[in-house]
Each structure stands twice: as C-alpha cells, then as structure tokens.
Amino acid sequence: MKRVFIHTFGCQMNVNDTLRMSEALSSMQYSPTPTAENADLIILNTCSIREKAEDKMLSALGRYRQVKLQRGALIGVGGCVAQQEKNRILERVPYVDFVFGPDAIQKLPEIIGRVEADRVRVVETAWVDSESYVFPRADPNTSRGKATEFITVMKGCDNVCSFCVVPHTRGREVSRPFTEVLQEAASLTTVGVREVTLVGQNVNSYAGGISFAQLLLRTAQVPGIERVRFTTSHPQDLSDELIEAFRIEPKIMSHFHLPVQSGSNQVLERMRRHYTIAQYLGQLEKLRAARPDIAVTTDIIVGFPGETDDDFEKTYQLAEQVRYAGQFSFIYSPRPKTGAAMREEEWGSVAHDVKIARLERLNAMQKKISVEFNAKFVGATVEVLVEGSSKTDATRRFGRTSQNTTVNFDGDAPIGALVKVQIQSASAASMSGKQLSVDSLPAVMIPEAMVAPEVCVA
Ligand code: 5AD
Ligand code: SF4
C-alpha cells in the first residue's frame, strides 16, 4: 500500500473533491495519510479565490519539496489554481510532477500512471462540457465516522460577478440529476450520516430536473436524513419557493448564507450582482417571516475598485441593520481575467491601509453582534447533532445547532446522536453547555472519527 497526503484549500467544493480524489486513488492502492512526511504522493487541492489563497499554496509547496527530496514523493497540484495556471505551474515550480483541473479528478489514476511509468510531467486541465459531464459518485465508506456530509449538486457558475475567478476555474454551470443526489443521500445514511449539506457555487440556479426548493424538500424526505443544509446562494436567484420550503419543512436547518458583497447599489452594479439593497432586504424580510429563528450569514468585500467612504458606510450600516449571525469579510484582490481587474485603473484602486481599516471596523462590529446573537441562547435548551469529541477539550463533545453554531458540551452521546443541550455560556464563534437528554440515535453506530484531513480555509 502506498500513502497519499492531500492538502485541501478553499471551499466545500474542494473539500468534497478531495474525498473523490482519495476514492479514485484507492483503486491504485493509495491509502490516505494525515501527514506529508511519510507520503509517497502529495496533492495540493488549491483555491484561487483571493491572492492570499494562492500564496498559501506556494508556501505549502515549498514545504513539501523536502519530502520529495528525501523520499522521492510525487507532487501534484489540482483544484482552481491548477485550472487557472495550467502548465505555468510546471514552469514556475520545477518539482511539481503533474497538474490537473477539477474536471480531471476521475482521470487521476491514468495521470499518475503516466507520471510513474514514463517519468513525464503531465498537465490535464480540459473542460468536460455539460452534456457529457458525469458527477463522481461518492463511496459511502469514505464518510464512515461522520454524522454530517456534503453532497455536490452542481458545478460551475454562469454568473459574471466582476470580482470573481470561479467562472474561469470551474466553468459553466452543470446540475447533477436530482435522482443521483437523492441516491447519494440514501447511501450516506447506510454509514450513519444524518445531516447533509447540498453544495454548489450557486445552488439557487440548480436545474437537475426539479427546482432547488424541491430538491431540498425531497432530500429531507429520505429515510434516515434528519437535517438538511445548503451552500452557497446568490440573492439574484433566491426564489419564493425556496423561502416557502423553510416554512413547511423543519428538517431544513435555520441557517441561510446569503452573500451581499456590498451595501452600496453603485458598487453592486459595478460588481454585476443584479440586485439592489432594497431587493435584498425584501428577501430577508420574507425569509425571517417564514422562519423567525433563522441565522443569516454573509460575505462582504471591502475595497472593491472605486469604493468610496460613503459606499463603505452604506455597507457598515447594512450589516448593523441586518444583524448577521456571522460575516465573512474580505479585502478585494484583483483576479486574473475578471471584469473588475481589467477596469481597476478606470474605477480607481482603494489604498491598502484604507482597505485594512474598513475590514477591521466591520470585523469589530460583527464580533459584537455575533456575541449578542449567541448570548441570547444562554439558559435555553437547543438541539445538537453530535459530530465527535470537542476540538479544544477531548473529554467534551461537539456538534452544531440548527443555526450552525458550534456547541462544545459535557456529555457522552455517541456521534450521530441528536441531543438536547442546555447552553451555559457563549462567545462570538461558539457556545458551551451540558447534555440534558439523548433524543435519537443513528440507525447504525458511527465509529469515533479518525484523524481529520488538513483543510485551509482560504
Ligand atoms: N477578492 C476578495 N474577495 C473575493 N471573494 C470572491 N472573489 C473575491 C476577490 N476577488 C469573496 C466573495 C465571495 C467569497 C467566497 O469570497 O465575498 O462570496
Ligand atoms: Fe472554491 Fe472558488 Fe476557491 Fe475554487 S476558487 S476552491 S471554487 S472558493
């Protein structure tokens, strides 16, 4: 048996792709190892959403060079930077053996076979066009040890947000047929999975035979599935039908990630987002009417080209008004081939120190609101799906609430149990409490999770 170490950067799409890579490699007798030092094959599953993500990949590559020198390990680069840079990675990093895009995961055995047999360097970044694309089918055994798992429901993105590299790295939207999604959910329940998160770059424009709202409702009906989540959404495509699904199906969890990006209509127009703040707020109002306890989270970009002090104030005020449960805010970074990068000179760059100051102000405000949001639960009893032992204290358990907040608690319930936890304290990022009761157990007992793979949120 040979060993493979896969270092994952970026979003849930990549986390899922990593699982599919290890499945493809198991046919070549590669088994996963949690550290690079004893690996025979090292793969970086990369992200190119922001400059920082690419820098992280390059510095990781530098570290793995040693392993190559010592053990002769093969090094491959996959994911979004691979798709974007193609053979430029081989030119820039002489010790990389192969480069493959997100559509080439199932070809990994063939690629590695060629590298091993002929000692050639390989680049495989062809798109697979919509009609012929077959989504890799997950092997439920890969999910053993988990109470919650992701299911890919679509790939690519047909929007043209002017800041975003995704259409260039992941191509056109292709939806997975709904029957495959439902089958995958059912197969995951056979190893004890009770919560699934449907993932895609823009799930609201899902077109796999039924609407996305219907897909969520049908997934919730799969025997053994107790909780359903999804990510990520574009406000432009958020339908009333989806909002209605929150009203009628309690198995859809009370969390909605709805990236707003900016609170200024002028900036939104240059971002090519196709909605106004008034429309966005209208959607939130309907959503909160349908599910009063819903936690709304968002993504915000500061320092987009031409963003004035006044534009930023509008973003700040919006975030204060909406009172997001959580916010992921980023400093704008120009990405290759994007509309905003090409027009940055015309619209005007924002000075780096101004960007930093704006980000810090937003983060400070959000921290305060997140603390207040979580503090409301102190004293209350919440339902938690147990995911394993707490990352900070192995004698405790951890899981998440319907609102997607992490809870660390004193208790002994096995992975996959739905438990009632009384909340005793809360911070911006998590809550702490004690187990009161075990409400239900998974159909099959789940073994305590082994070593989690390395993931860097870029
Ligand atoms: N610069 C900064 N942030 C970006 N995002 C996407 N592209 C960029 C960029 N060029 C952010 C958006 C998106 C999240 C995943 O990353 O907020 O919603
Ligand atoms: Fe995910 Fe986008 Fe990063 Fe690719 S570039 S890994 S799609 S966040």
CATH of the domain at 151: 3.30.750.210
Same domain? 117 vs 6: yes
> What distance in angstroms lies between residue 48's CA and the mean position of ligand 1's atoms?
10
The pair of three-digit structure tokens given for residue 135, joined into one six-digit string: 């989504």
For the Cβ of 249 lying below 6 angstroms from any atom of ligand 1, the answer is no
Residue 248 lies in a domain: yes
Residue 47, ligand 2, Cβ within 6 A: yes
Looking at the structure of the chain, the number of domains it has is 4
* 274 part of a folded domain: no
CA of 165 from ligand 2 middle (Å) equals 8
Domain CATH for 387 = 2.40.50.140
Q: Quote the pLDDT of residue 451.
A: 44
* Whether residue 388 is found in the same domain as residue 366: no
Looking at the CA of 154, name the nearest ligand.
Answer: 2
Same domain, 249 and 143: yes
Instruction: Give yes or no: residues 22 and 83 share one domain.
Output: yes
Same-domain status, 105 and 194? no
Phi, psi of 172 (to 5 degrees): -70, 155
Residues 223 and 309 in one domain: no
| Domain shared by 307 and 411, yes or no | no
Cβ of 350 closer than 6 Å to ligand 1, yes or no, is: no
Q: Is residue 265 part of a domain?
A: no
Is residue 294 in some structural domain? yes
CATH number at residue 90: 3.40.50.12160
Looking at residue 213, its pLDDT comes to 98
pLDDT (0 to 100) of residue 454: 52
- Does 13 contact ligand 2 (Cβ within 6 A)? yes
145 lines ligand 1 (CB under 6 A): no
- 56 Cα: distance to centroid of ligand 2 (angstroms): 14
Residue 328, domain CATH? 3.30.750.200
- 52 phi and psi, to 5 degrees? -55, -40
Helix (H) or strand (E) holding 45: strand 41-46
Give one DSSP letter per residue of 339-356, joined into a string: HHHHHHHHH-PPPHHHHH
pLDDT at 456: 57
Burial of 31 (0-12, 13-18, 19+ CB in 10 A): exposed
Q: From 124, 157, 179, give the residue that closes a domain.
A: 124
Pocket test for ligand 2, best of 14, 103, 330, 456 (most atoms within 8 A of CB): 14
pLDDT given at position 34: 87
Phi and psi torsions of 126, nearest 5°: -70, 145
State the distance from the centre of ligand 2 to the C-alpha of 7, rounded, in angstroms. 14
* Residue 107: per-residue pLDDT: 95
- Distance between Cα 360 and ligand 2 center (Å): 24
Mutate to test the pocket of ligand 2, among 6, 7, 9, 11 (most ligand atoms within 8 A of CB): 11
Q: 221 and 184 in one domain?
A: yes
Asked if 439 and 419 touch (Cβ cutoff 8 Å), the reply is yes
Check if 14 has its Cβ closer than 6 Å to any atom of ligand 2: yes
Where a domain ends, among 253, 274, 304?
Answer: 253
Mean pLDDT of successive 10-residue stretches along the chain, which has 458 residues: 94 94 93 92 96 90 93 96 95 96 95 93 89 90 93 94 94 95 97 96 94 98 98 93 98 98 98 98 98 98 98 98 97 96 97 98 98 97 96 93 98 96 97 98 79 52
Tell me if 48 CB under 6 Å of ligand 2.
Answer: yes
Ligand 1 near 301 CB (within 6 A)? yes
Query: Is 83 inside a domain boundary?
Result: yes
Last residue of a domain, one of 330, 348, 371: 371
Residue to probe by mutation, ligand 1, list 13, 50, 51, 236, most atoms within 8 Å of CB: 50
pLDDT at 278: 98
Q: Token pair for residue 203? A: 């799930």
Which domain, by its residues, includes 16?
A: 2-124
Cβ of 170 less than 6 Å from ligand 2:
yes
Check residue 458 and give its pLDDT: 47
Neighbouring CB atoms inside 10 A of 303's CB total 21
Assess whether 164 and 207 both reside in one domain: yes
pLDDT of residue 240: 96
Domain co-membership, 339 together with 396 = no
169 and 245 housed in the same domain: yes
260 in any annotated domain: no
End-to-end CA distance of the chain: 32
In a domain, 422, yes or no: yes
Is residue 202 lining ligand 1, measured as CB closer than 6 Å? no
Q: Residue 96: what pLDDT?
A: 97
Clarify whether residues 415 and 351 are in a common domain: no
Whole-structure pTM value: 0.95
246 occurs within a structural domain: yes
